[in-house]
């Protein structure tokens, strides 16, 4: 397995009104998007071409939605990219761009 194309830790992952994890991980690697708990167990995964990532119409800038396998997940990432060397999740905008780039839908 190669180096992940995108990785975020400390991500709040929810489905509808239910929080699945408050410190989860989002990873794009080898053409797959994976949503993981803080312990590394898989919540859901799908080929990145089958994933739709977007920004909710209303809400803070740190949120993104990911539709995979017929489920919609709400991801709360950072509202801005952390400084180099600093911990924290990247901005939601970077996640959306990474999904589109990995799927070959936007350059």
pLDDT for 24-59, tens place per residue?
Answer: 999 999 999 999 999 999 999 999 999 999 998 887
pLDDT for 7-32, tens place per residue?
Answer: 999 999 999 889 999 999 999 999 99
Handedness of CA 76, 36, 29, 106 (dihedral sign): negative
Q: What is the dihedral of CA 14, 33, 42, 72, to 10 degrees?
A: 30
- Domains recognised in the chain with CATH numbers: 6-104 (2.30.29.30)
pLDDT at 57: 84
71-76 mean pLDDT: 95
pTM attached to this predicted model: 0.85
pLDDT for 75-107, tens place per residue?
Answer: 999 766 677 777 666 788 899 999 999 988 765
């Amino acid at each position: 397995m190669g180096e992940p194309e995108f990785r975020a830790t400390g991500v709040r992952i929810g489905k509808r009104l239910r929080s699945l994890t408050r410190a989860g991980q989002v990873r794009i690697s080898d053409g797959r998007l994976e949503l993981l708990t803080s312990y590394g167990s898989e919540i859901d995964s799908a080929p990145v071409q089958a994933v739709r990532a977007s920004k909710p119409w209303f809400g803070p800038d740190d949120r993104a939605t990911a539709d995979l396998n017929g489920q919609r997940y709400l991801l709360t990432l950072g509202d801005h990219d952390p400084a180099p060397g600093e911990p924290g999740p990247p901005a939601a905008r970077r996640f959306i761009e990474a999904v589109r780039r990995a799927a070959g839908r936007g350059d």
